[in-house]
Amino acid sequence: MTTIDLSTPAPPPSTLLDALPRRVALTLPELQLVAVCAGGAPLPFDVAGAGETRPLESRLGTSRSTTEDQAYRAAIDSLHDPATTLARRGLLVDGVLDDGLAGAVGLLATPTYAVEADVVVDGVQVKAWHRADGDAVATLATSDGIVFELAWFPTTAWPGELARVGVLPEDLVLRESRVPSHVDLPYELADAAIEATGDGRADLLAVLATQHDGAVRDADGRPVPAAEVPGLLQALGSETQGRLRVMVADVSREQTTVVGVRSWVLLADGWRTLRPHHDGTTHVELCAVEPGDLAADLAPVLSEVAS
């Protein structure tokens, strides 16, 4: 089985084209037709009933979700015939699908490793499916379920593609955070602090900090000064403006096995990776990271299925 190492620089490609992922934007109807033309390859998500009205809501009347479903269905219905648009772009010629598209969709359907990313930033959600086998990777991503980006490339380009998952919108305003770039604290304390802040009970933070005196530590393992802990806890609950969750699974066998999960949280100044560990009790380490760090963060998890 091929070992995929995301933590070290890849060797230079033999040609420029070898290093460049190929990307194609497809509407949902186009993607579904591509899958049919690729031998009925299953897509990595369930589109059955997409846009249909929920039975209970059809009896109770219009709700917000019903309105959203109707808008989604109207958007899909307004799209052009997929066979015509694919043919116009040279991706479907005389009923024959472009080889690259067919291979990419085939890889999405029959991978060895699966990496699924779910990102929410400032209320906008993006879902991405990465599938790998041998030295090849195919990805599919969407933010609205209407337009998808399909890409395929060698595994040497995978770190750069993973970095795209965590890229923040250009119009997102960042500011200084009250949470240090590296802090370690009990999971129980972090969870209680976020809940208290969300409930408007900031007055409880000092009590929580006292109950865990000395348990909040900096990058050097030293206790954070007690006077600073309540403010840190409040910032942890109030600054959150996004999240990133990546799941790695082994899909080479009949039964899919989830190998591990990586979670990031978006605070006022950028991303923090969350690294749980045990020190008598469950702790969580928060470390400042950049989008380009995602591959290295995933490498220990992926190595469990790729070695």
pLDDT, tens digit (0-9, with 9 covering 90-100), for 253-273: 878 888 899 999 999 999 999
User: How is 231-278 classified by DSSP, letter by letter?
Assistant: HHHHHHHHS--EEEEEEEEE-SSSS-EEEEEEEEEEETTEEEEEEEEE
**Burial class of residue 306 in the structure, from the number of CB atoms within 10 Å of its CB (0-12 exposed, 13-18 middle, 19+ buried):** buried
CA atoms lying within 13 Å on the CB side of residue 189: 28
Domain boundary assignment for the chain: 1-177+239-307
With beta carbons less than 8 A apart as the criterion, state whether 209 and 75 touch: no
Q: What is the rounded distance in angstroms from the CA atom of residue 217 to the CA atom of residue 245?
A: 25
Q: Please, which pLDDT band fits residue 20 given cuts at 50, 70 and 90? A: low
CA 55, CA 69: separation in Å to the nearest integer? 12
Higher pLDDT, 102 or 67: 102
Q: Which pLDDT score is estimated for 50?
A: 42
Identify any residues that bridge with 96 across adjacent strands, giving them in sequence order.
Answer: 93
Q: What is the mean pLDDT of the chain?
A: 86
Element (H, E) at 280: none
Q: What is the pLDDT of residue 244?
A: 97
pLDDT at 175 over 50: yes
β-partners of residue 150 are 24, 140
Amino acid 101: pLDDT: 93
Q: What is the pLDDT of residues 21-49, one digit of tens each?
A: 799 999 999 999 999 999 999 999 876 44
The position carrying tokens 């015939």 is 81
Share of the chain above pLDDT 90, in %: 69
Per DSSP, the residues of 60-125 read H---HHHHHHHHHHHHHHTSPPHHHHHHHTTSEETTEEPHHHHHHHHHHHS-SEEEEEEEEETTEE
Phi, psi values for residue 154, rounded to 5°? -75, 160
The average pLDDT across 54-73 equals: 60
Q: Write down the pLDDT at residue 72.
A: 83
Task: Say what the pLDDT of residue 3 is.
Answer: 41
Quote the tokens at residue 188: 């129980």
Q: What Cα–Cα distance (Å) separates residue 82 from each residue in 21, 26, 44, 91, 112?
A: 24, 9, 20, 11, 30
How high is the pLDDT of residue 256?
82
